[in-house]
Amino acid sequence: MPSAKPNEKNKAIRLRKKGLSYSEIESQVNVSRASLSLWLRDIPLSDTHKERLYKKQLVQHERAWYLIRQRRIEKTDKIYRESSAQIGTISIRELWLLGIALYWAEGSKAKEHNVSQGVVFSNSDPMMIRLFLDWLRKCVGINDAEILYSLYLHQTAKCRLSIIMTYWFNILCSNVDLPVYYKKGLSQSYRKNRGDNYYGVLRITVRRSSELNRKISGWIKGICDTE
């Protein structure tokens, strides 16, 4: 194989002395990376040139991560749209079963020491709160006058109280009576919903609902018995 022309090597050396990266030199000198490595390995770079190449590398890495992140976001959005469309319209019976399973996971149950436990549901997820309220109204026949709300916050969130209250009023689509109770101590450092992402836990209580709680327990048993 014939050797590269001497002027290509000289040009590559001149560009390297100006502080250009191998990629930048390759765009101007039509030779392989192996040839450049051989020609330029002993060419020193000034601190200024090293700093420039380091910053350039950082920018390239950031751009690469940005593109990877964008592709991941686009892929995730596509999955969300397609999987959401698979649900279609939810019937009243399906909503009824969803609500039972939801309460089974997150609701307060009657215990031997508290057989008169009423219906109490607590969560920080606004979508779960809306679904549970929808279930109460449409499937169980509970009206708004029978529903009580309360909010539980860490003391560190006092400074954001007005923002948090507005957040929950928007979720509930109403300025309901919402007493606030503060938890003692600080929020755990491992929690992700801290700072501006923290809105506390909303508790939903149904008035005089111990009988409804027992009925829900029966529904749960019925689901188990059909397995």
Model confidence band, residue 84 (pLDDT cutoffs 50, 70, 90)? very high
Q: Taking a C-beta distance cutoff of 8 angstroms, is the pair 213, 118 a contact?
A: yes
What average pLDDT score do residues 166-170 get? 97
pLDDT of 162: 95
pLDDT value at 3 more than 70: no
Token pair in block for residue 17: 């002395």
Largest separation between any pair of C-alpha atoms in the chain: 94
Cβ-count burial 125-137 (b if 16+ within 10 Å, e if not):
eeebbebbbebbe
Write the pLDDT tens digit of every residue in 181-195: 998 765 555 555 667
Domains in the chain: boundaries: 92-225
